[in-house]
Structure formats: C-alpha cells, structure tokens
Amino acid sequence: MGNAGPTGGGAPEPGARTVVVRGGTVFDGTGAAPRPDWVVVARDGRIDWTGPAADAPTVSGPHREIDAAGGTVLPGFVDAHVHLVMSGDGMNPARLLDQPPHYGYYAAIPRLRATLDAGVTTVRDLAGADQAIALAVDEGIVPGPRIVPACLALGPTGGHGDFRTACGFDYGAVQGPSGAVSLLTDGTDEALRNTREVMRMGARVVKVMASGGVWSPRDTPWDDGLSAEEMTVVVREAAARGVPVAAHAQNAGSIRNALAAGVASVEHGYEIDERGIDMMGESGAFLVPTLTTATTPPDPARSAAYAVAKKLRLQERLSTHVSAALRAGVRVALGTDSGVCQHGRNLRELPLLVEHGLSPEAALLAGTRDAAQLLGLADEIGTLEVGKRADVVVCAGDPLADVAVAADPGNITAVVRDGVVHKDTRGAGARA
C-alpha cells in the first residue's frame, strides 16, 4: 500500500527518522515465542531489522533510542471499534442541545491523543469520524492513531442509527462533526444508494445496523434492524470496491441475518447462539465483542433512562453467550466501542477477553495481528516484521504473565507510529 489513506504516516520527527528499541522482551505478534533482549530498528517509518542484541547492527547518524529494559515490546495495538466523535461519558440527548455544529472536530483531538498514548496506533471508527479527521492524522496535523473510517452507519428508520427522540430532536445529527452519524436506509434501493454514498465519502468499511441498540431511543437490542436482503445488497456492492462490511448485531437472529448476508465482522454479538457460532466458523467472520462497553455499568446521571434500562437487561446474559463463542474458537478482533465508553483506556479489553475465554497470548493477538487482518492491513501492521510499518509499543512488565498490566496507559512507556515517537516516558531521547 502507498502512503495515502488510512495507512499514511504522520509528520516526521526532525533528525529522528531512525528509531532503535533496546532491552525488552519482544512479542512480535506472529505467534512466535517471546524473545528476551531483542532489538527492533526502524528507518524511515518501516521496520528495518529485528534480532538479538548481540547481533544488532551499529546505528550511525542521528537516531532515537528507546529503553525497553524490563518491559515487553509489542506491535502497535488495533482497536477495531471506536467512535472518536462521541464523548465516552454517556449519551444523554439533553446534554447535546447546545453543542454547535462541527464541534466534534475539535472534541476529537484529545481523544485521538489519549487513544495513541494508550498504545493503540490504528483504529476502525464505525460511525462519526470522517475523512477530514483521518487525513488530519495522516498528515501529522494532529497526533493520533491512523483511522479506517466508516463515516456514516446504515440503519433503518426507527432503528439503531435513528437517534430522533420523541419530540423530533436528532442528537445523532449533533454528534457527527459534519452532521449525522448515520444514513437512514429502508429497502434494497436505498441500501444500494447509501452504500455507494458512504464509499464516495471515503469509507474504508461499511457499517450496517442488523439489530436495534441500547442508545437509540425508539428500538431495543432485541429488535432486528436491516433485513438480510438489505444487508446482502450492501455486502455485494461494497465487495465490488474491495470494502468489507461490519454489522452491529446484538440479538441471535440479527447475528444470523448478518452472517447470512456475508458480513466480515459481527460487532458486539452479545446474544450469539450455537447456530451463530457455527456460522461464524463456516464463514470466517470475526467477532468484535466490545466487552469494555458491554460490562461497564450504565450511569443514570449521565445517560437517558431508556438506555440504562436496556443495558441492564442486556448485561444479564451477555457474558455467557460471548464466553461460549470465544471458547468455541471464533475469530476475534479487539474492539471497545470507545466513545460509548471512556476513550484512552482501550486495552482494558485485553483482561476482559481473557476473562471470557481467551488466553493472554490470544488476547494480545486479537489486538494486533488478528485485528489487522480484519481491517485488511495485515501486510502493513499487526506484527513486528521487517518491511512493515514501524508501529511499536513498549509495555512495562509482562502482559503474557498478567495481561492487565497493558490495560493501564501509565504502563505503556513508549508508542511509535510509522517510525515517529509519540510517547517515551523513560526518555532516552535522540542520539548522535
């Protein structure tokens, strides 16, 4: 891939286009065993060399040294489900009444920074962030993870994505920086037209609402959203451009409908049943369980009453269903739904994945190699291999022994994206 689009690089650091990470144990994301006292060398935004310290090449000229001693060096993490324009502290429509147009562009800036500081170097934004935000990050105007945007989600009138309250106030139109976070889609003709529209806007993934949801005011997670026929049209049209489709699907029937339509991923999947698990295995689709938002208790002081009631009911059984899917071996990619839950704490998802059935190694792979595969970026990111983009994270301690250490952004001591050092709390600094 070239440097355009969501895989583009940030602005270079003057005099520091070579970065050397020394002293840590490397978990490279390929499935290989961890390698102690391993060195990673990045040049001009790409990984140039990895190997044991004893064999490390001499690096001459200006470069940046990162001390990873006592820590673990990992690929930059991928969060496959975020909403950068949403606040992460509840979505009460009353709190959005006085928000001016385009405020979302500025509100996203600290969220981008917090996400990057947490060790996440790539995100898939599944409604809200547009190509303007993605390009601003790619060009180094604001620091943040590279963004694979959906731009707007496709959902039915009165379903998830239709955020009009009983009085007609559309708080979805306020949340998006350019207006709206969804396109109302009814029937196969609109499914075709709106799929083309979001791809015209720059979507690198198309999101469909296969079920109702918690935060939409006029439906529930137990309602179906777009029909299998509507989603089939979306999948077919998106595939003609090489664009995958992600389905918000919470109840068992909607999950089966989405998988029958051929989606690449099921988002949430909280009530997946045995047939849905079998269909995932047959199709190779990914589950993005967003356990961070699923298990976060709703806050009645910050959220609409209808959302609190739905979420409490949903939380009664979701852990049983998701655990069954994870233990059955479905493909899993890390995603948090940050924006609905708090930004900058993305790697809290790792211990939750372990709690629900993954090994620590599998959880780390879900957030690196496997999530990169879902995003179609496995040739560029997700593992620490020569030639790939230099996305490198250093975590204090050993997340294979205690995966929860990575959940605290304070334990992420260094973050490199495209060979640019964005965080280095140990501060080895530039070397001549």
How many residues can be counted in the chain?
A: 432
Locate 283 and state its tokens.
């199709």
pLDDT greater than 80 at residue 415: yes
pLDDT at residue 7, rounded to an integer = 38
pLDDT-based confidence at residue 215 (cuts at 50, 70, 90): confident
* In contact, 211 and 261? CB cutoff 8 Å: no
Mean pLDDT calculated for residue range 99-109:
87
pLDDT of residue 3 exceeding 70: no
Pair of tokens at residue 76:
């930059």
- Paired strand residues for 89: none
pLDDT tens-digit profile of 337-356? 999 999 999 999 999 999 99
Rounded Cα–Cα distance for residues 163 and 307 (Å): 12
Residue 217 has what pLDDT? Answer: 82
How many Cβ atoms sit within 10 Å of the Cβ of residue 30?
13
Residue 431 pLDDT greater than 70, yes or no: no
Q: Which domains does the chain have, with CATH numbers?
A: 5-75+382-431 (2.30.40.10), 77-374 (3.20.20.140)
Tokens representing residue 192 in the block = 């075709």
So what's the pLDDT on residue 5? 39
pLDDT tens profile 127-177:
999 999 999 999 999 999 999 999 999 999 999 988 887 787 777 777 777
Instruction: Give me the phi and psi of 358, to 5 degrees please.
Output: -85, 155
Distant-in-sequence, close-in-space partners of 246: CB < 8 Å, separation ≥ 6: 81, 124, 126, 150, 205, 206, 207, 208, 263, 264, 265, 267, 288
- Nearest 5°: the CA angle 107, 110, 112 is 100
Specify the pTM. 0.93
DSSP conformation letters of 113-142: HHHHHTTEEEEEE-SS--HHHHHHHHTTSS
Here the tokens at position 274 are: 């045995």
Is residue 49 within 8 A of residue 95, CB to CB? The reply is no
* Predicted confidence (pLDDT) per residue in 276-299, tens digit: 999 999 999 999 999 999 998 888
- For residue 164, the model assigns a pLDDT of 83
For the segment 376-402, what is each residue's pLDDT rounded down to a tens digit? 999 999 999 999 999 999 999 999 999
Integer Cα distance of 11 and 8 in angstroms:
10
What's the chain's Rg over C-alpha atoms?
A: 21
Q: Which of 122, 105, 18 is nearest to 61 (CA)?
A: 18
By C-alpha distance, which of 205, 202, 221 is closest to 269? 221
**How confident is the model at residue 91, as a pLDDT?**
66
- DSSP class of residue 296 equals S
Residue 273: count other Cβ atoms within 10 Å of its Cβ. 16
Alpha-carbon distance 385 to 338, whole Å?
29
pLDDT at 88 over 80: no
pLDDT of residue 10: 43
Query: What is the 3-class SS of 214-255, one letter each residue?
Result: CCCCCCCCCCECCCHHHHHHHHHHHHCCCCCEEEEECCHHHH
pLDDT at 430 over 50: no
Query: What pLDDT does 428 receive?
Result: 52
Confidence of residue 92 (pLDDT cuts 50, 70, 90): low
pLDDT over 70, % of the chain: 94
Strands 146-149 and 206-209: unpaired
